[in-house]
Structure 1
Amino acid sequence: MSSTDVFRIYDRFGNFFRMNYTKGVLYKFETNPLEIIGPRKTIFFQGTFYSYESGPGAQKVVPSLPILKSMITRQFALALRRNGYKFKGDYRSYKIENEISHPHRDIFSIYEGFEFRTVLINGQIFLCIDPHIIFDFNCSIEDLVNKGIKPGELNDFSVSYLTEDRKRIDGYLLETLWERNEAKESILICKIKNFRDFIEVSEPAWSVFPEARPEVIQELLNKLNRDYDVIGLQRKISFLDSKTASRDRLLKTMEIITQLQKDVFPLRFGEFEVNIEIEPIIVRL
């Protein structure tokens, strides 16, 4: 699509892109096939396992559109990871090289990324792309104390922490304080309300990271006496203050989908090949 064509449609822009695919079969399993086939080739849909690879007890099926959409979503996410994309949550993705420069990278990073969904409309599968700014926190609670914030000022915001087996758990920071361990050494501890079990846990401050929300980042920068407008930066790069916001978002969306076409498509799995049309579709619901 030429730049002229892009500007002709921007005032009626939709961020849906049609996914075209070759027809094929999947395999339905009555029992869990993950140990034999593996999770990358398998989805669990409405109580049943499906894979594009056969195995013991498999039944060949022509998938319904909802099942196929679920498999395409999984393969798209896996293809993103294979091609160097990182994830923040299940549906927000970015590349490290798309980091935005700013003077406080010791505290946080910010990336130009996108949020995606696959949707089923009128018997067709679409990829929906929404440009999204992604924040990431680069220092732990212990790092913030070492930089000058008093432990008593670090509370009342959401955090995540790493368990001994490297699992990341979300929670709410109740208190940060110094305690003595069994060896009588002073260690910095975070008391957290665990969102998984809703119990209070104590975790070493080096393993606890603030939630990377602009408001939290701004507050912590203020406590460090760093004069920087995080919210203003977010508004600027999110086109919130732009007089041509619709056109700007269109151009960014087209940039993202063009890059995805190069990096990720076609998706190939089993008998299926999935391609993407890079001209946005105006969906009439």
Structure 2
Amino acid sequence: MPLVRTGDLVTEARAQGTGLAAFNVITLEHAEAIAAGAERAGRPAVLQISENAVKFHGGLTAIAAATAAVARASRAPLALHLDHVESAELLRLAHTEGFGSVMFDASKLEYGENVKATAEAVRWGRQRGIWIEAELGKVGGKDGEPPLDAHAPGVRTDPAEAAAYVADTSVDALAVAVGSSHAMTERTASLDHTLIAALRDAVPVPLVLHGSSGVPDTEIRAAVTAGMTKINVGTALNTAFTGAVRDFLTTDPHTVDPRKYLTRAREAMTTTVTEFLNLL
């Protein structure tokens, strides 16, 4: 079916009080697994490509075209999102490559510069019908960043600051720091649900949870109840992928045809996607 806009899926999920899962795409197998998992669950989903994945592929065009083709061939409602974009050049490619939404990440900048850069990204997006997500607070764990304690003072998003930030930037959605962290391989994160509810009440836009791979099922459910809408999942797919490949090659170390172990990897990721979608 035709691509659906991320903003439309988020709006619908928010109105229904449910969560919308957004899964990171690194390889073609990731995209195929997300589409297959969405079909199994009978749920919509977002396929998102991060700036790090773009760097891995040496550019956006090929992985974007492949991901979009997989999404259009699926029977599930799927959206295409560009994630954690710091580069203004990459932001501008979103429109030409068919993305309906971008997470513009100016969180490394000082607050004033973050507001200025994000507001400009939003103005650019509005002119082209592109939905813009931003981040306030510090959700650590991204590639190339030093370790960050998700519970350290000053890390979590302040509701009053979030309200001012949304008013000054006019972003369409806000990723917030409430206790999760990127790249967690164990589901041990503990979220601040009181803070989530306070942020929900403080800002008029949907909230986004990054680092959901490290959050237990009960915590994710409670987070959605408290006010989270878009739930980002990345590392859980990589864990499933790598585990399946490792198990296959341990059992059959002489295999050289990648299709054999990539089939297992894709199926493992499909199962993971289905489980997250059913959870939401």
Range class of TM-score, shorter chain: under 0.3
TM-score w.r.t. the length of structure 1 is 0.22
Give 1 or 2: higher strand fraction.
1
Whichever structure has more helix as a proportion of its residues is 2
* TM-score normalised by the chain length of structure 2: 0.22
Q: Which has the larger radius of gyration?
A: 1
